Chain A
Amino acid sequence: MATAEQAPTGPEETPVEPAALQRHFDETIARDQRIEPRDWMPEGYRRTLVRQIAQHAHSEVIGMQPEGDWITRAPSLRRKAILFAKVQDEAGHGLYLYSAAETLGVDRADLTERLVDGRQKYSSIFNYPTPTYADVGTIGWFVDGAAICNQVPLCRSSYGPYARAMVRICKEESFHQRQGYELLLTMMRGTGDQRRMVQESVDRWWWPSLMMFGPPDDDSPNSERSMAWKIKRHSNDELRQRFVDMTVPQAERLGVTLPDPELRWNEERGRYDFGTPDFSELQRVIGGEGPCNEERVARRRKAHQDGAWVREAAAAHAAKQTSDRAARQEAAA
């Protein structure tokens, strides 16, 4: 899941390119047409995309951890199958996205190294813990719901491979959101303990979910350029508002309270008013001080290191196969 909070930081100067190429690029963007891997593109555009797509891919892969831990403990076989399939989908999203990034001339193995040594980030939401099974439902409802708000506009992103990957990913996220909400609905019809578990989980996840849209617009220095390039289509605050407007009626139907005393319908605007998230918490979590930052990266690093001998063996076997084939062809010639 891509979140605006991960929008690349730091200015990158676009090198001077031949004017005709630049003009063609600008016209393509202006006409709302897609940039494809073989097209010329400004270096800044390429780097911005690599960073955004890689961070999105990393988020999918790290995002497997908080829910994946519940697969062995899911409380019914149907829930186990749903959760197992969902976490598998996230691995699949990671694969599509790494592939989309590779069309920009980077290598998946290198991006993974950047993740495990902390040079590249992933969505902060996955640095929060999942202490109860209700969190599986809440993540589906809020986190996948927020991801959909962020990602549906990316289906129209100017870079073709990213936009196409997003179409498929959004379909799956939408399915996950419905499954999460359905789990919570079922739990709300269960015992008092289950209803309390759902409310407690909603209380914990609401504000971090709102922060998934990134800092407020007046504090989001990189948004403007991404919007000019049509990599990004809507501002952080607009997407956050959409998420709130979508979620409040769902919360009412579910019978839970969203933990925001300022939340109320604004007749004049035709939208909900809501309180301001504690963005200093977002900065702390992005800065590595979230409840689970170290644990998440350490686990990914360990899996990567533990798997090194397997990847080496596969590469060695493939190389032997290639040289055997070459030797046979030579002998036959």
Chain B
Amino acid sequence: MNDERISLALGEEGPDDARWAFGTGFEDPLHGVATAVPAGVDSARLAACCAALADDALVTAQRLAEWCTDAPELEEELALANIGLDLLGQARLLYSRAGQVDGTGRDEDAFAYFRGAADFRNVRLAELPRGDFAFDMVRLLVLSAWRLALFERLACAADPVLAAVAAKGVKELAYHRQFAAEWVVRLGDGTEESRERTARALVEVLPWTAELAHDGASAPFGADGGEVWEALSDVLRRTADAAGLSLPAPAKAPAGTGRSGEHTEHLAPLVGELQSVAREHPEARW
């Protein structure tokens, strides 16, 4: 094949395009799914649930993006970006749904870029600053195991859009949890240094899980808080066993919850960075 023909072949739009980046296409991400809110579903609660789950995903993706070019190995660079992209895709679908059902008609960017930090409803574990690789793997294990347990149940939610997003997300989150669990095991078992770092990460992360245990945002849509908590605890126990680590008794949970808008001091700078360009050019098109 000569250069010109190779160039032409490269320029062709093909079915391949879809695989480059989840959610980067030009189509409506909710295409083909019935969007009417079924009778008996409380729109306000549905919007709140979707926005809260979207905030968890966006804030986590933002922290994962901070690892870009800093990962310990190229394979991890790819994996962390993959996970960040999956979560970003989930956030976009969920924000769109929230804006559709809360009566405001806001789009995904209105939620992400034009709310203040105090309006975010993510759990606070997601917003804590990036730590070392052990901290971020333990955090990812907790957040992905928890979200997977939620999404497995939300896949049967009465709202068809939330159910579809959850069903798609289950496959993604199963990989995220697997990736994080494998690293926690490697680091727990690896060297003295990695073991110490991982043990310390558990001490730092576990107090923030109390907030997950008390989250009721998804309960009206089939994700029973008690069951979800049990599933998460089971994953943590089994992973710690495999890593040869013992789970520390969680210290007292910090007061307040992200779901009620009480955040740590770390959220505002994260949101400020996220929104900086969009807010500097509010009339711009991107």
Contact = CB atoms under 8 A, between A and B. Distances in A.
Interface of A: 61, 64-65, 68, 71-82, 84-89, 91-92, 94-95, 98, 133, 148, 152-153, 155-156, 170-172, 174-175, 183, 186-187, 189-191, 193-194, 233, 299-300, 302-303, 306-317, 320
Interface size class of B (residues with CB under 8 A): 35 or more
B8 to A, nearest CB: 10
A313 B186 contact: yes
A310 B285 contact: no
A86 B274 CA distance: 18
A81 B190 contact: no
B187 to A, nearest CB: 5
Interface of chain A, main secondary structure: helix
Contacts of B20: 85, 89, 172, 175
B265 interface: no
B21 A85 contact: yes
A82 B88 contact: no
Nearest to B82: A88
B7 A317 contact: no
Contacts of A307: 70-73, 133
Contacts of A310: 72-73, 76, 133, 187, 194
Interface of chain B, main secondary structure: helix
Contacts of A148: 7, 10
28 contacts: A61-B74, A64-B68, A64-B69, A75-B113, A80-B65, A81-B23, A82-B24, A84-B61, A84-B85, A85-B22, A87-B68, A88-B81, A92-B78, A94-B74, A172-B20, A174-B10, A187-B284, A187-B286, A190-B285, A191-B284, A193-B281, A307-B70, A309-B191, A311-B73, A312-B194, A313-B191, A314-B186, A316-B194
A309 B108 CA distance: 39
B185 A317 contact: yes
Contact of B283 (A78, A191, A299): A191
Interface in B102-149: 108-109, 112-113, 133
B6 interface: yes
Interface in B64-100: 65-66, 68-78, 81-82, 84-85, 88-89, 91-92, 95
